[in-house]
Amino acid sequence: MLRYGLICMVLASCVWAQSGETPSSPTPDHSPSQAAAPKLPEPQEFPADKVPQDAVIVTITGVCQHPEAAKTPADCKTTFTRAEFEKIVDALKPHAPQSARRMLATTYAQSLIREQKGLEMGLDKTADFTNRLEVNRLLISHEALDDAQKQQAWDNVTDKEIEDYYKQNPAEFVEVDVLRVFVPWFEPDENKKLPEAEREKQNLAWQSKLKEEAEKLRTRALAGEDFMVLQKEAYKFTDVSSPVTEQVITLLRTRRFMLDNALMPMMDLQPGQVSQIVPEDNGYYIFKCTRRQALPLNEWTRREIRGRFRDRRIAEDQTNLKKLADSSAIYNESYFGPKPPPEPQNDAPPYDVMPGWKKNP
């Protein structure tokens, strides 16, 4: 039987990483994609499906199922069935590929053999072992709590909440395809050698030239000129060597949650419309909308909204637990030092609208 289900689950995280697989999540991927709309995954069928649930699928000789029994390892044998093994697999990655299942079983068998060796050496009787066991017990407890809270938060979102959110936030369910011209800003190398006052003056003058160039490019964009040509000229003007391709100038299926506030004007464009000059910390942008679509309330958008409610409620739970811990624990500052300042928030958007570019050497 499976004596160490939790250990197996911990080991499995390494297995999925090695196999390129990740544990399943109830929410769809929010990263932008240039592919067609995703399809729901189809259940996979394995030849292993014909193996009976009670069939033994792994046998490990020399590993005792009950270490306390008066047996030598040579007399021991550990087995587990398909049903026992798939309880672990299904909790981690339903329909996992057969190669990943084999890797998990191999990792589990190797871990049991290593554990048997450690028990023979008496390592479980050491203080270090006990301390490590306590740390791992806490980690597993935290993971179990996180999993339970995520599932509870997911399950408790009602259909009415989803439908109300969709109706009240229509702009969040608009996606656009846009063409983009990027005029990058950087400090010219010659300016870095100037005295501080002169350096600032020259940098302001350079930024003014960049904006003038961006305005000229926008005028040409309004006249219908090819954005590929415009981007090449923007790079030439700013001495950037990166090649210009369709991928560089095109942003597909862009949504509001992908952008920071400065770039939101692109989401208000109608097909064929060109934006004003959009300033950002790294330069100036010009956008032209080529497609605009309101996403329907279907299975994917429902899952997305459910995920947003779940994430919000999990964040609230974590904040409440942190406040409880902060109010319950007293720390000796003579030993730990003063309380550290709060960590800064990372507000960077998950979607990089700036193409890869580099200045000519």
Whether residues 8 and 95 fall in one domain: yes
Whether residues 215 and 99 fall in one domain: no
Whether residues 127 and 177 fall in one domain: no
Domain assignment of residue 190, yes or no: yes
Domain assignment of residue 311, yes or no: no
pLDDT for 84-109, tens place per residue?
888 877 766 677 777 788 888 888 88
Whether residues 75 and 198 fall in one domain: no
Q: Which pLDDT does position 27 carry in this prediction?
A: 42
Domain assignment of residue 33, yes or no: no
Beta carbons within 8 Å of 47's beta carbon, 6+ residues apart: 98
Mean pLDDT by 10 residues, the chain (361 residues): 45 50 43 42 63 90 66 74 85 74 85 85 88 91 91 95 96 96 84 83 88 96 96 92 91 93 93 95 94 96 95 93 90 88 67 54 50
Last residue of a domain, one of 134, 162, 197: 134
pLDDT for 99-143, tens place per residue?
788 888 888 888 888 888 888 888 888 888 889 989 999 998 998
Domain assignment of residue 313, yes or no: no
Whether residues 129 and 1 fall in one domain: yes
- What tokens appear for 282 in the block? 């790294």
Cβ atoms of 347 and 260 within 8 Å: the answer is: yes
Whether residues 10 and 116 fall in one domain: yes
Identify the bridge partners of residue 279 per DSSP, sorted by sequence position.
Answer: 284
Whether residues 10 and 130 fall in one domain: yes
- The candidate with the shortest Cα–Cα distance to 237, out of 361, 359, 354, 352, is 359
Q: Which pLDDT does position 179 carry in this prediction?
A: 96
Structural domain harbouring 239: 173-294
Domain assignment of residue 68, yes or no: yes
- The candidate with the shortest Cα–Cα distance to 231, out of 194, 191, 286, 278, is 286
What is the number of structural domains in the chain?
2
Identify the bridge partners of residue 60 per DSSP, sorted by sequence position.
Answer: 78
Domain assignment of residue 209, yes or no: yes
Whether residues 129 and 179 fall in one domain: no
pTM, 2 dp: 0.66
DSSP annotation of 284: E
CATH of the domain at 203: 3.10.50.40
